Structure 1
């Protein structure tokens, strides 16, 4: 093929395809304008006034906008066209969430409005088109599921033939030599079916049943036999298969959970789940791994009082049925905090309790052992499922997929406020409860057509006209195992619903086009559903029976601008609200302390060990970290891969001990370390404190947290030796949130130092800014270094805050050292560095 010859002006001539593409882009970016004669737009009686005057007259806004209406529409049209002008294939114009190379051949994976063009492009390129409505059978005529079953049967039979113990366990006729393969398979299936007769009887074709237990832990939910071996130690949530295709998964606390979507979503999470003014969608997560238990009995008040330190007995929680969010305490010792707790008084004799799975079994066992004769506990971990929604469209998304089975005031209230985007305007007790129709009755999500805009009266009616009796009736059904099991009666399959939809469309096309299968009370099931607002988290919690979660989840994710998230995004949202996330930000609890010193430490240590020596930080050779030095350590202080709370406890308690006994010295060059008659190390200088820490770190690895909250510590009056008082007295800490006042980014496990009095003026001057001669801000300044004794805390969660535009860190500092500070300034240093950043701190309430 001959090359294109240069044009008359030395430029290469373009072929027809290149000219077509250039003209298409040029036409898309062309904005047409219309010449307007302003004299034609004079209004009668005001001929002397002009829209635009050369002498700077008054601009008539209405006339000017109407005259430029054509240009504004052309600008919007050009912006819309130029967005997809460079796309040569339809798969390049797909939404961001659907851009997958593996699905670029499947027409069913793209929106319907794009399928005709996709078919033309695929036929033009002789690309294979996936047939619609046909099963993907192999060469042997079997589907994938049939092939899997056949292979598994052959493998089981081979295993039976090799294992003598399995042959003895089976009937004699199955292992007979004259038995054919099909006969063996048939008899094996009968044998398996006979062994499953003890399973609960279901009142539906989907196998849904209520899996709860009274005064004992409920058994694990039985799943499909195909995935039975994978759920031996870690239970799958109802949405596991859906999430496993779209998220990174992790195994924790006995569940297989979604950690984070495979798509990058840090900014999207901030925009949707953060400020209401920027939110235009919904973030949803399956939170069924949170354990739910129902407590009743004569000892209910005593049990709730001991578990919540009498906080949940207040009138607004017990009488007004407000959702309680607080801390769970040990029922025998209120000074021991277990973790966060959520509670709802259903009635005077029944309480609904939600707990994190890390502390669920601990609380369950403690209540049974302490109040075994006075309370009755119903384990509903696998009987009640829940979904959490956050974002401006949360109620709008729910109202587009939910329909009430009968006339209900609570559902009418939901419809009246569904279009309210600002969640902060809702009262503290905002709750909706009604009997819900199967969400699959809707062919597609459809918003409730209510032309009336919500007013302040609708918000006030949520509190003044609260339907107490209707909500209580639904809550009783939600907490009753027989009512939950009855809600599964006649639960239909997708094929049955599709058949009803086809019959409806054939008999009455007008009714069929309404996109809703009519609810028949005698035939169709209805289930109790609770929607409640959580004030502290500023989100919505939806609670329903376990096997109704999946139909609702599928319909919810068909709503536009609904995104699924994982535990990582939940932690990000808590971080951006400057609140604590369990268990990472709860080091004063046993679970939080183990999370920091065991799980996260092992992960960080393994990541560091995988790197070659030339590519990893040598923590022992970091210099210029402090203004002074003690012989007991070199390089980084404490554990490199975690927040070393044991070091902080020994250091701060040791400094307080030395302050009571006289002057503090770093080391004593005239004498070595001394020991008393019992062999315990004498504490005389700071170096002895670090030597004591090194001795304990070699032998001791207790599970008891060495720190406690400042307002939850009980002082012990027993006399102890110096070493025991330093190592066994818990250090009182307080949670804080630090905001960087200069550039830089905080990391997890960063060290927090107090500012000495002699350096305070310098850091205050740095806060106002140190400028160069040309007026620019000077960043490369030599900061004064703190002392080793100025360490007062650690950062548990540190990252970049998109809302603040700077780094923000959550952590804990010594409460006594914080009370002595004259300013709210600290300096923070990341692990493995010698760079200090100035930050201001504020107290975080639990």
Structure 2
């Protein structure tokens, strides 16, 4: 029988045999690891039992079994090809400590300071953060508005009681040098035409009153407006003069740049060392550690050794709280209780090293301060913008147990020590009055017995505030009793709620009270009140004391409402359009409103082309001035706002008295009238609520006649703007959309085809090429271009603005900056700017036909074709 079996193997290649078996083992292991093959590759998370699979496993690698952790770490930190992800840092991430570690006192303070690296915090930030909406603005965290809806409640508080706002974000500079040199420098940037008084006026130079200046770029008036600066001269010193400059944070850099240019200053010292790196292990109090981000001891300074000038940044050394309302004085008197001479004497005897020992040792000054402050019971007793320095007691000593209002002549809330009813105090006051009267009689200047206002004026002229001393401001926080020690003392009281008696241990705090008479262009509402200037580290103690007196706290949005109620268009809360600050705010507002508009569905958007609305997101003053340019050679850019006080007062009287011929004459004398804007106020007659950006137009005779005949029927509009056709633009948008959809479908098919090829291909080079093509066919950038072009098709092109203005049925005069319901008037009104040339034509029409009067037309051209009626009034500074 033939043997059909194969011959036996004579030899075996060990290398080939081992290689083949190795590949088989690798294939078997791979199939076990991934039962579904390459198409169904399992991640390391799916290798654990199903009963242990949790959502948290994918977020915490340490919850995985130990043998799977390396693979999980690779999948978390690397992509499918083994490359590290872009968001994974190569350096080791520092582990966040446990909650127990983070909640330690020292770590809490360090975290408190660390979080202020990007944006600065005011001392009341934590209090506001619990109750207010906070937004980053001007390098600060600014309280915008309370979380509750209380605009009416805010108005009632300002009208009947008191409100307060922390404006410590305001920048402060101290300028030292010769008085005449400082005044001559400011004369080039603060022209007398736009300022009632110069910085060197007699009423300001003594340091008894605070002033205000409108600052321009050097020798650029009336163009180049920067902003508003409040100033306060310090008391006369032996070596030169000093003035504090209070600057809005939005214009801080511009003002600083202009001061350096005018006075030829050079940066002498600037601290580059971060205050957060300081060693806090030394014996520093909690309040001192909290002030480390303010870097109080190392300040930026600019000097001019030739002229003996120096400019120092005092940001953070002093804080400022703004009060408004008729009961502000009563609240201040209840919280700001002046130092008792007996207690001051104990402090001087027990603690001679106190920073206030030299001020507390003057018993006569303290007695005079105590009497004058408690005699003031009327807001009119204060001279306008007067500066009143005081040394007051610690407000934590007499903090009430519950929140309650301080009402006039409320005996329950009065303090026996503050009542000027003691016989000895009355006799002392009589002796003071008699002594001053006799001295005036001897000088031949006395005509009557001095009143409270005269006593106050005399006291202000003689007293010097301790806050003017730099070293005293810095060392004042060291002597403050910490809140922890204070609470322990209060907890040990036998009668809860009674006033604490600390004796010589009680803190005495120097403060400055600045009178603010307020402005009112409406007649029924005024924002009069006081500004309280406090040393660093003491704001929260006073803030809590005022909050317990039921003073309503306001934010930035509430301040805008108050400025609107007073009709103060020149307030810093309304950024002027002719300044860099106003231009920056304009861009921010335009971007925000543009996003809101295009987030709406196309069917829900107002058709701006049909409404003939050129600038729906901002006020187009440049296009408006171009429209009123009668001479082709006349310049309209840049434009400026008229701030000549004498001219504004004259124009306002002419409009109010309806002297139209004189108004025409005064308007014609304005320099660069084609580039001039004038602030106005429009009171709406009848129905209609003006919106921000609404347009103001000149009426015709037919509009006035129609209004006179239909005055009692407010539902019927005076005039309706004819709707414009949008058929051509609509067809362009439709064609553009269809074309874009075809391109998107083509790219989608290409990407789908390439992905299908990748699943069937094992060649790495082909995979890389296909992935590159998929990225090339990505439609994200194409969609961005499409959205930008499509959005522009919903708007009127800028080159057609002038044509649109000419096609309007009523000539435009200006735009509204802010509009709404005014509670003090019980009707709607708005603030805005009009072109001086348009106002001139308006005055000519009124002079030729007396029936026109102050009658104007208003239209919310963003969403309406209806014209409403209003009454025009020119605003003063």
TM-score range (shorter-chain normalised) is: 0.5 to 0.7
Q: Kindly indicate whether the alpha-carbon contact (under 8 Å) linking 1:434 and 1:474 is maintained by their aligned counterparts in 2.
A: no
CA distances 1:315-334 after superposition (whole Å, capped 9, x unpaired): 22224732213412224534
Distance change in 2, residues 1:763/1:619 (3 Å): same
2:163 alignment partner in structure 1: 283
Are 2:588 and 1:599 aligned? Answer: yes
CA distances 1:745-790 after superposition (whole Å, capped 9, x unpaired): 10100111122xxx23x3434554526xxxx635325527694671
1:414-493 aligned within 5 A: 414-418=373-377, 420=378, 423=379, 426-444=382-400, 447-449=414-416, 461-466=451-456, 473-475=463-465, 477-493=466-482
1:651 alignment partner in structure 2: 627
Q: Kindly indicate whether the alpha-carbon contact (under 8 Å) linking 1:434 and 1:471 is maintained by their aligned counterparts in 2.
A: no
For 1:829 and 1:765, how far apart are their aligned partners in 2?
A: 19
Are 2:320 and 1:386 aligned? Answer: yes
For 1:793 and 1:265, how far apart are their aligned partners in 2?
A: 32
More helix by percentage: 2
Match of 1:617 among 588, 591, 606: 606
For 2:227 and 2:452, how far apart are their aligned partners in 1?
A: 31
Match of 2:561 among 569, 572, 575: 572
Distance change in 2, residues 1:230/1:831 (3 Å): farther
1:515 alignment partner in structure 2: 499
For 1:459 and 1:361, how far apart are their aligned partners in 2?
A: 50
For 1:652 and 1:286, how far apart are their aligned partners in 2?
A: 43
CA distances 1:367-399 after superposition (whole Å, capped 9, x unpaired): 123312132112111111010011122122222
Q: Kindly indicate whether the alpha-carbon contact (under 8 Å) linking 2:338 and 2:391 is maintained by their aligned counterparts in 1.
A: yes
Larger displacement relative to structure 2 (582-591 or 353-362): 582-591
2:818 alignment partner in structure 1: 797
Match of 2:860 among 830, 837, 840: 830
1:777 alignment partner in structure 2: 713
Aligned residues: 546
2:333 alignment partner in structure 1: 399
Secondary structure of 1:819's counterpart equals helix
1:251 alignment partner in structure 2: 136
For 1:414 and 1:616, how far apart are their aligned partners in 2?
A: 60
For 2:386 and 2:183, how far apart are their aligned partners in 1?
A: 24
Shift, 1:339, TM fit: 1.2
Larger displacement relative to structure 2 (235-244 or 338-347): 338-347
Secondary structure of 2:499's counterpart equals coil
For 1:307 and 1:527, how far apart are their aligned partners in 2?
A: 36
Distance change in 2, residues 1:461/1:362 (3 Å): farther
1:101-120 aligned within 5 A: none
Bigger Rg, which one: 2
1:609-758 aligned within 5 A: 609-622=598-611, 635-636=612-613, 638-653=614-629, 655-657=630-632, 706-709=639-642, 711=644, 731-755=675-699
Structure 2 unaligned spans of 5+: 1-76, 78-87, 193-197, 266-303, 342-365, 402-412, 427-432, 434-447, 519-526, 647-671, 722-806, 847-852
Distance change in 2, residues 1:331/1:444 (3 Å): farther
Q: Kindly indicate whether the alpha-carbon contact (under 8 Å) linking 1:248 and 1:259 is maintained by their aligned counterparts in 2.
A: yes
Q: Kindly indicate whether the alpha-carbon contact (under 8 Å) linking 1:295 and 1:350 is maintained by their aligned counterparts in 2.
A: yes
The structure whose RCO (Cα within 8 Å, separation 6+) is larger is 2
For 2:564 and 2:140, how far apart are their aligned partners in 1?
A: 24
Are 2:165 and 1:231 aligned? Answer: no
For 1:307 and 1:345, how far apart are their aligned partners in 2?
A: 18
Q: Kindly indicate whether the alpha-carbon contact (under 8 Å) linking 1:396 and 1:447 is maintained by their aligned counterparts in 2.
A: no
Secondary structure of 2:829's counterpart equals strand
Distance change in 2, residues 1:546/1:732 (3 Å): same
RMSD: 3.9
Distance change in 2, residues 1:778/1:551 (3 Å): closer
Match of 1:338 among 226, 250, 255: 226
2:147 alignment partner in structure 1: 262
CA distances 1:349-381 after superposition (whole Å, capped 9, x unpaired): 111211110112221232123312132112111
2:483 alignment partner in structure 1: 494
For 1:223 and 1:801, how far apart are their aligned partners in 2?
A: 45
For 2:705 and 2:133, how far apart are their aligned partners in 1?
A: 46
Distance change in 2, residues 1:469/1:639 (3 Å): same
Match of 1:370 among 255, 262, 278: 262
Distance change in 2, residues 1:803/1:425 (3 Å): farther
Q: Kindly indicate whether the alpha-carbon contact (under 8 Å) linking 1:590 and 1:705 is maintained by their aligned counterparts in 2.
A: no
Q: Kindly indicate whether the alpha-carbon contact (under 8 Å) linking 1:826 and 1:841 is maintained by their aligned counterparts in 2.
A: yes
Structure 1 unaligned spans of 5+: 1-158, 176-180, 190-205, 208-221, 623-634, 661-688, 694-703, 714-727
For 1:225 and 1:642, how far apart are their aligned partners in 2?
A: 43
Are 2:785 and 1:818 aligned? Answer: no
For 2:874 and 2:157, how far apart are their aligned partners in 1?
A: 27
Shift, 1:553, TM fit: 0.5
